């Protein structure tokens, strides 16, 4: 088990959670056993490039997010929770929430 396998497994776990799936549900979607999914997430079993692409598609994330670029850090649990909530909103509510977020950011910036 390498540090990279652990890293990819951690990103896989985050992507699965972001998709709102349990390990069992995710395993069914991608056609592996629950135990195999658990081994991938723990970094015990290495994930091939082709399988990583399949996982990224199943979880609606980019391949890069599983393999190291643009991944969500472990310390960003609030952000992950916010993304889960956002993904469950209807389009009108999403637009309203984005407006609130933009207004908050604008209020934090110093006047020019």
- What percent of the chain lies above the pLDDT cut of 70? 81
Q: Distance between CA atoms of 105 and 99, rounded to whole angstroms? A: 10
Residue 111 confidence class, pLDDT cut points 50, 70, 90: low
- Residues 23 and 38: beta-carbon distance below 8 Å: yes
Domain layout of the chain by residue ranges: 3-67, 77-108
Q: What are phi and psi of 89, to 5 degrees?
A: -80, 155
Residue 67, pLDDT above cutoff 80: no
What residues contact residue 62 under an 8 Å CB cut-off, 6+ apart? Answer: 56, 69, 70
Q: Name the DSSP class of 109.
A: S
Q: Greater confidence, 109 or 67?
A: 109
Residue 39 confidence class, pLDDT cut points 50, 70, 90: very high
Q: Which CATH superfamily is domain 3-67 in?
A: lambda repressor-like DNA-binding domains (1.10.260.40)
Residue 11 confidence class, pLDDT cut points 50, 70, 90: confident
Q: Tell me the whole-structure pTM to 2 decimals.
A: 0.56
Q: Greater confidence, 72 or 96?
A: 96
């Amino acid at each position: 088990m390498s540090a990279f396998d652990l890293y990819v497994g951690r990103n896989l776990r985050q992507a699965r959670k972001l998709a709102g799936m349990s390990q069992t549900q995710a395993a069914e979607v991608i056609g592996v056993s629950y135990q195999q999914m658990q081994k991938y997430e723990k970094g015990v079993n290495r994930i091939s490039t082709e399988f990583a692409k399949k996982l990224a598609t199943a979880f609606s994330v980019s391949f890069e997010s599983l393999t190291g670029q643009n991944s969500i850090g472990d310390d960003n649990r609030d952000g992950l929770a916010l993304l889960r909530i956002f993904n469950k909103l209807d389009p009108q509510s999403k637009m309203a929430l984005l407006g609130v977020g933009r207004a908050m950011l604008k209020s934090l910036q110093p006047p020019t």
